[in-house]
Amino acid sequence: MFKVNDNFTKLPSSYLFSEVARRVRAYTEAHPEAEVIRMGIGDVTRPLCPAVIDALHRAVDDEARGETFHGYGPEQGYGFLISKIVEYDYRRHGINVAEDEVFVSDGAKSDTGNIGDILSRANRIAVTDPVYPVYVDTNVMAGRAGELQPDGRWSNIEYLPCTAENGFVPLFPTGEPDVIYLCYPNNPTGTTLTRNELKGWVDYCRKHGSLLLFDAAYEAFIREDDVPHSIYEIEGAREVSIEFRSYSKTAGFTGIRLGYTVVPKELKGRDAEGNLVALNPLWRRRQTTKFNGASYLTQRGAEALYSEEGQRQVRETIDYYLANAAVMRKGLSEAGYECVGGVNSPYVWVKTPKGMTSWESFDRLLEDYHIVGTPGSGFGPSGEGYFRLTAFNTLENTVKAMSRLKK
C-alpha cells in the first residue's frame, strides 16, 4: 500500500483561517439575522483600481487576437513587469536589485511556503511568536519542525516571543538557527522594526551564517520614516536575505493573485560537502520546474500599478485602510482595550479583556458583537490572550464595529 507524508498527519486538522471561516459559517447559518462585520482574515474589500482594470481589459483583448495572444510566459515573469519592479520598488529607493534576481509568482503565501524546497531538511528554523502560520506549517510538512509539544510549540523550531513586555520586538535567538523568518510590518501584530533593529538582524545572520527570509507583504502600509520598506535598505542584506513581496494587500490582488520574490546572486548556502552554492539558480530551477508563471493578464494588471495614476490610486486605497486602522485604534482604546499596530499596518493586535483566552474572546466578539476577529493563539503560543482585527473593511462598518465594542 502506498504511504502518505506522515508530516501532514502531525498538523492540526485545519489551517487557522479555514477554522475561523468554518466557525463563522456555522454561526451565520444558525443566526441569519445577525449583521456580522468581518475583521478576521486580512482580505481586501475595495475593488481593483481603475488603472489596473483598464490594463486587464486591454490584456484580455490581446488574448483575443492571434498576433497579440500569449500562451506560456517566462516562468520567472514577463520582462515588462520585472523592469518596473526593479525601477520603482528598488532603484528609485537607492537599492540595487537586478532583473534576474526577481521571480514573479502567484503570491507571497506560495513563495514563503515553497522556499523550503531549496533548503535542507536539516536546517534549524526560528520564527517570531506570534507568527504567520504558513512559515511554521510548511516546515512541519517538510519534516523540519520536529514534534508538537504540549505547550503548542514544535520541538525543532525556535520561537522568538514578541510580547507587550519586550515591546513586540523579538530578541535574538539563542539556538543558532540556520533559517530565520521575519515579517515586517508584522502579521499578525501590526508592529514594525526600525532600521537599526533590522540592521541587528542582518548583522546577526551575517555573523552566524543564517538565512533571513524577509516577508515584506505589507510594506506599502509603511508611513513612518524610520521603518525600512525593503530588507535590502540594510547594508549586507543581499548576502543573507530573500525578500518576498505581494500585490495582495498593496493593490487588492488577493483574488487575482500576484507577488514576487527577490533572490540576490550573492546569497549562498552550503551543500552537504560544505561547498558554497548560490540560491538564485536553485530557486530558478525550482520555479521553472514546478511553476508555469503567473498569468499574462495579472502581470499586465500589475504593470499598470507603476503608472502615475496607478501609484496615486493605490496610495488612496491604502490610505483608506489606514484611516480605518486609526478609527480602530481610537475606538478600541475608548472602549478600554489595549492594542498595538495599525499605524504602518492594516492589522491591530488587541489584548483580550478580563484575562479571556483568544478563542473565548473570538466567540464573545462573534456572539455578542457580531464581529469576526482572528484569535491570537492561532498565530502561536505568545498570541494567547490576544485577538487580531483587520482594517480591510468599509469605513462605515469599521465605525459601526467600534461603536458596538464601546457599548
List of residues contacting ligand MLT (CB under 6 A): 41-43, 109, 187
Residue nearest to ligand MLT (CB): 42
Nearest to residue 216, comparing CAs of 261, 177, 171? 261
Question: Closer to ligand MLT at the Cβ: 109 or 238?
Answer: 109
Least separation in angstroms between residue 382's CB and ligand MLT is: 16
Rounded to whole angstroms, how far apart are CA atoms 140 and 403?
41
Least separation in angstroms between residue 212's CB and ligand MLT is: 20
Q: Which three cell numbers stand for residue 384?
A: 494567547
**Whole-angstrom Cα Rg for the chain:** 21
Q: How many CB atoms lie within 10 A of CB 330?
A: 12
Question: Closer to ligand MLT at the Cβ: 238 or 388?
Answer: 388
Using CA of residue 303, residue 306, residue 311, residue 315, what is the dihedral sign? positive
Question: Closer to ligand MLT at the Cβ: 41 or 282?
Answer: 41
Least separation in angstroms between residue 203's CB and ligand MLT is: 29
Least separation in angstroms between residue 215's CB and ligand MLT is: 10
Least separation in angstroms between residue 182's CB and ligand MLT is: 15
* Burial zone of 122 (CB within 10 Å; 0-12 exposed, 13-18 middle, 19+ buried): exposed
Question: Closer to ligand MLT at the Cβ: 42 or 185?
Answer: 42
Question: Closer to ligand MLT at the Cβ: 269 or 346?
Answer: 346
Nearest to residue 46, comparing CAs of 246, 314, 295? 314
Q: Which three cell numbers stand for residue 403?
A: 461603536
Nearest to residue 17, comparing CAs of 167, 188, 148, 162? 188
DSSP state of 44: -
- Residue 348 has φ and ψ, to the nearest 5°, of -120, 130
Nearest to residue 375, comparing CAs of 402, 394, 356? 356
Question: Closer to ligand MLT at the Cβ: 42 or 77?
Answer: 42
Question: Closer to ligand MLT at the Cβ: 42 or 264?
Answer: 42
Least separation in angstroms between residue 122's CB and ligand MLT is: 28
Question: 311 vs 5, 183, 194, CA distance in Å?
Answer: 44, 24, 25
Least separation in angstroms between residue 43's CB and ligand MLT is: 6
